[in-house]
Amino acid sequence: MENTASGAQNATAKLREKAQLMTASEIDRTLVRLAHEILERNNGVEGLVFVGIKRRGVPLAERLAKKIADIEKAAPPVETLDITFYRDDLSKVDEKPVVQPITNFSVEDETVIMVDDVLYTGRTTRAALDALLEHGRPRRVELCVLIDRGHRELPIQANYVGRTLQTSDTEVVEVRLREVDNEERVVLCERIT
């Protein structure tokens, strides 16, 4: 599910589902296509590390790695990145962030594929880049997202995009995955205040 710069506002706003954007089978087919694109652009799996941005980026990264293993008979390692401490919008909320201990992994001289569910303002990706550099200096960092909904506030773009959607600022794209949400679909919701 996307992160927004107005976390406090989202806590009070209710959402009304407008449309289903992707079914479970469409998500799966999209991940197969993304896996092939990643392999083609990187000439295989050698030197790749997948880093899933916590929460829904992690199961997406794990699924992509499994699909790559099905194709190449070798899977890139998958790491988890918790960006809570690196978010620049948390100062607008009264609560202090819960800082998770840094998982020990290295991305030194690796090609990192950061995986997230929704690309929106770019702030989550910027925070993820800050957090990633705590783990070394990668050779290259690429971004893979299931949904790109536009409305960028920072000059960030994904290298691999499952689906691009035109949305309004009052709409929210929710990616619901069985590992986190016990259901599998992507829905477009509207904020009701």
User: pLDDT tens digits for 76-117?
Assistant: 999 999 887 665 555 454 444 444 544 678 899 999 999 999
Q: Provide the percentage of residues in the chain whose pLDDT is more than 70.
A: 83
pLDDT range class, residue 9, cuts 50, 70, 90: very low
Q: Which residues pair with 94 in a beta bridge?
A: none
With a cut of 90, say whether residue 150 has pLDDT above it. yes
For the cut 90, the answer to whether the pLDDT of residue 139 exceeds it is yes
**What residues contact residue 154 under an 8 Å CB cut-off, 6+ apart?**
121, 122, 123, 125, 126
- If you write DSSP's letter for every residue of 111-176 in order, what string do you get? EEEEEEEEESSSHHHHHHHHHHGGG---SEEEEEEEEE----SSS---SEEEEE----TTEEEEEE
Q: Is 183 exposed, middle or buried (0-12, 13-18, 19+ CB in 10 A)?
A: exposed
CATH of domain 7-192: 3.40.50.2020
